[in-house]
Structure 1
């Protein structure tokens, strides 16, 4: 595959990822509301470990699992930051 074709495919996938991440963050806002109502902490290390383990298990290419887990750590860090912001308001 030529470089330009690869870039076009990445652009197409980025559009899909953006839509999915936006939908995920909308659910994170609902989680923040629930946690605020129930006086829960934002950070749940047990849940994060479960998510990271699940991501590794879902990866069809196991060589990519550590990279996907790193990406998910970033996603979860931003989700926690967004939860905290939502809980402040």
Structure 2
């Protein structure tokens, strides 16, 4: 692949990531609504730990496990913030 083809692939992947991030956020909102109905806390440290362990086990590289953890921690944190904001607004 040449320079332009690689950049086009990166742009395509960025668009896919955007779609996936927003889909994940919507699912987090759905979970948040169920948690609220059942009187459960938004933060579930055991679930977060399992997610981070799983993504590290599934990580084929070249990103290090530490980098993967940082990325997923950020995604999880943003989802949790969204859940909290939605819970306050309901």
Instruction: Please indicate, yes or no, whether the TM-score normalized by the shorter chain is above 0.5.
Output: yes
Q: How does 1:25-64 map to 2 (within 5 A)?
A: 25-61=25-61, 64=64
Q: Does the 8 Å CA contact 1:52/1:69 hold for their aligned counterparts? A: yes
Shift of 1:7: 2.3
Contact 1:56 1:62 in 2 (8 A): no
Alpha-carbon distance change, 16 to 63 in structure 1, aligned in 2, over 3 angstroms: closer
Q: How far did 1:10 drift?
A: 1.3
**Structure 1: unaligned runs, 5 residues or longer:** none
Q: What displacement does 1:22 show?
A: 1.2
Corresponding residue for residue 23 of structure 2? 23
Q: How many residue pairs are counted as aligned between the two chains?
A: 89
Q: Aligned-pair RMSD on alpha carbons? A: 1.6
**1:22-68 residue CA offsets vs partner (Å, 9 max, x unmatched):** 11111111111011111111111111110000000111127522211
Moved over 6 A (4+): none
Q: What TM-score comes out, normalization by structure 2 length? A: 0.87
Compare 47-56 and 5-14 and name the one that shifted more: 5-14
The structural deviation recorded for 1:9 is 1.7
Once the two structures are TM-superposed, the CA of residue 8 in structure 1 deviates from its matched residue by 1.9
Whether the 8 Å CA contact 1:52–1:72 is kept in 2: the answer is yes
